[in-house]
Amino acid sequence: MLPDCLKSVEWAEELIVVDDASTDQTREIAKSYGAKVFERKMDNEGAQRNFAYGKAMQPWILSIDADERVSPELAENIKMEIADGGDCAGYAIPIRNFIGTRQIKAAGYYPSYRMRFFRNGYLKYEEAGVHPRAFGEGKRGILKGDLIHYGCRDLTHFVDKLNRQTTLEAEKWIEDRRPMSMGKILFKIYDRFSRHYFRKKGFTDGFLGFLMSVFHAVYQFFTYVKYLELKNIERAKV
C-alpha cells in the first residue's frame, strides 16, 4: 500500500515516513521515493503522529497514513493554498472511506472531515492509543478534494480492527477512571446506532449503511464488556 500512498504525494517538497520497526521493505520503498525515514516503535497513535510532525522542516504539513491516497483534486488545492500563503492555520479534509473496493457513502463515513493539512507547529495530538484528540489554536478552514482511505480489506478485517480498538478504548476508560453503568452503556448503544443510521443518514447507503451503524453500537457494547473484565481483574489483585 505504501507505494500508492507515496505516488500520490510525489509533488511534495519533503516526504517523511515513520517506520514502526517493520520487517518488510518499508524503509527501502520509502527511500526509493526520496523520503526521509525515521524509526519509532509504535506505543500510541498520538505520540507517533507528534513524533512525525516534529521531524518536518517545511512550513506546511500534510498528515496521511500508508493506507491513504491524495486525490488529484486535493493535491491541486493543497498546492494552491501553499502558493497563496493560506489564510488558515489548519484545514480539514474530507475522507472517502472504503471497505475493499466499496465506498461507505453515509453513516458518518463521508464526508468524514479530519484536520490533516496545517502549518508546522500548529497541531499537537494528545498521547492516546485510540481516537486521540488534536489541539491547535488559530483559524480553521476546509479543503476541497478527498483523501481516499482504504482502511479495511474486507468486513473481516474491519471486525479485527474493531476488536483491537475496543480493547484500547476499554483500557483508556480504566486509566481515566471513567464511571460506567449498565444504564449508561445501553444509552450509548442506542445513541450510536440512531446517530449513524438516522441523523447521519446510514439508511441511504443500503445494507452497508445499516451494518456500519450496527458496528458503532457493537463498538460500545464490546468496549463495556472488556471494561467490566478489566475491572474484575483489578478487584482480584486487591
DSSP state of 91: E
Quickly state the pLDDT bin for 238 (edges 50, 70, 90): low
Would the CA dihedral through 129, 188, 219, 223 be positive or negative? Answer: positive
Per-residue pLDDT tens for 157-208?
999 999 999 999 999 999 989 888 999 999 999 999 999 999 999 999 999 9
Domain residue limits, the chain: 2-151, 154-237
For the entire predicted model, the pTM comes to 0.89
CATH assignment, 2-151: 3.90.550.10
Per-residue pLDDT tens for 81-90?
999 988 999 9
What's the mean per-residue pLDDT of the chain? 94
Per-residue pLDDT tens for 7-46?
999 999 999 999 998 888 999 999 999 999 999 999 889 9
pLDDT at 200: 97
Peptide linkage before 111 cis (omega within 30 of 0): yes
Q: Using alpha carbons, list the distances in angstroms from residue 107 to 37, 97, 111, 204, 205.
A: 36, 11, 10, 8, 8
- The CA distance from 105 to 96, in Å, is 8
